[in-house]
């Protein structure tokens, strides 16, 4: 904070996806890139790809939009708020230490993981026999491990900032209806859904594909729910190659 010369922490101003795109635009100009042949985004990255294609329609030639939506759903926002409540239940979050709120962040991470995956994922990968009363369940150790792993590379204040950015995602804000705004996109577009995604159900990608002119839609089969967009690289790569081959015609 230039006024206090201290880290912003919980007082950092709220930002939107459009702010992030404008920051990328500054970088694009600095690098002297005149046009973007292909922009690919998954999840929150797809928020940015979509906004960039709307804000600068002449600049993006091709877009691949994966496992995301045109505006944050009530389901998304409720999960984000639950995670924020977990962080803010940690009293150290309200201090002046950049490491504040880490126990809350561990809890938030454990909650988020459940939204990124599904019952099948956990039942297949964290399956136990009878451990009796020991409490040594794979699922418990996995959730704890992932929380410990995150707090080594992230902080609670950035996490809450990003969750508010997520909530703010709405391409129709101060423009027109979501359908009308999608209709302004000029980039050739491939929309990819993951059939087991609970965070961004496939019908949300179908909606996006329906309203972007001449968009292509593909569904990828995965057992990994939303995290499939990070794991199913071979299927996604094949879909993108088919798309680019057809776009070049």
Domains and their CATH numbers in the chain: 9-71+170-247 (3.40.50.1820), 76-167 (1.10.1740.110)
| Residue of 43, 115, 163, 168 marked catalytic | 43
Instruction: Please report the pLDDT score of residue 128 as a whole number.
Output: 87
pLDDT digits (tens, 9 = 90+) for 156-180: 999 999 999 999 999 999 999 999 9
Residue 119, pLDDT > 80, answer yes
Residue 130's pLDDT is what?
A: 84
Is 169 noted as a catalytic residue in this protein?
A: no
pLDDT at 129 over 90: no
Least trusted range by pLDDT, from 28-37, 186-195, 239-248: 239-248
| Neighbouring-strand partners of residue 65 | 41, 191
Q: What per-residue confidence (pLDDT) applies to 248?
A: 76
The pLDDT of residue 249 is above 80: no
Indicate if the pLDDT at residue 137 is higher than 80.
yes
Of residues 92 and 132, which shows the higher confidence score?
A: 92
End-to-end Cα separation, the chain, in angstroms: 51
Q: How confident is the model at residue 117 (pLDDT cuts 50, 70, 90)?
A: very high
Of residues 53, 115, 196, 197, which has the active-site annotation? Answer: 197
Query: For every residue of the chain, which 3-state class applies, written as one string?
Result: CCCCCCCCHHHCCCCCHHHHHHHHHHHHHHCCCCCEEEEEEECHHHHHHHHHHHHCCCCEEEEEEECCCCECCHHHHHHHHHHHHHHHCCHHHHCCCCCCCHHHHHHHHHHHHHHHCCHHHHHHHCCCCCCCCCCCCHHHHHHHHHHHHHHCCCCHHHHHHHHHHHHHCECCCCCCCHHHHHCCCCCEEEEEEECCCCCCCHHHHHHHHHHCCCCEEEEECCCCHHHHHHHCHHHHHHHHHHHHHHHCC
Q: Is 197 noted as a catalytic residue in this protein?
A: yes
The stretch 181-187 carries a mean pLDDT of 98
pLDDT at residue 188 in the model: 98
Would you call 43 a catalytic residue per the annotation?
Answer: yes
With 80 as the cut, is the pLDDT of residue 126 above it? yes
Active-site annotation holder among 30, 226, 227, 238: 226
Token digits of residue 151? 């707090």
Tens digits of residue pLDDT in 214-240:
999 999 999 999 999 999 999 999 999
Average pLDDT over residues 111-130: 93
**Residue 211, phi-psi category: left (phi > 0), alpha (psi -120 to 50), beta (remainder):** alpha
């Amino acid at each position: 904070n230039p006024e206090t010369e201290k880290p912003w922490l919980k007082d950092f101003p709220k930002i939107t996806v459009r702010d992030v795109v404008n920051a990328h635009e500054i970088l694009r100009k600095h690098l002297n890139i005149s046009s973007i042949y292909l922009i690919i985004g998954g999840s929150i990255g797809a928020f940015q790809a979509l906004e960039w294609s709307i804000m600068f329609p002449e600049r993006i030639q091709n877009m691949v939009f994966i496992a995301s939506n045109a505006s944050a759903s009530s389901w998304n926002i409720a999960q984000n708020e639950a995670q924020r409540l977990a962080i803010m239940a940690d009293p150290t979050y309200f201090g002046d230490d950049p490491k504040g709120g880490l126990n809350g962040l561990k809890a938030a991470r454990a909650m988020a993981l459940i939204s990124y995956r599904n019952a099948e994922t956990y039942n297949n990968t964290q399956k136990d026999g009878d451990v009796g009363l020991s409490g040594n369940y794979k699922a418990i150790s996995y959730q704890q491990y992932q929380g410990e792993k995150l707090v080594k590379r992230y902080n609670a204040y950035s996490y809450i900032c990003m969750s508010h950015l997520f909530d703010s995602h709405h391409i129709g804000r101060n423009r027109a209806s979501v359908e009308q705004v999608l209709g302004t996109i000029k980039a050739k577009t491939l929309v990819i859904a993951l059939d087991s995604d609970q965070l961004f159900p496939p019908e949300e990608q179908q909606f996006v594909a329906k309203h972007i002119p001449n968009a292509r839609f593909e569904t990828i089969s995965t057992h990994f729910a939303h995290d499939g967009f990070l794991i199913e690289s071979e299927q996604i790569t094949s879909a993108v190659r088919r798309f680019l081959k057809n776009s070049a015609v």
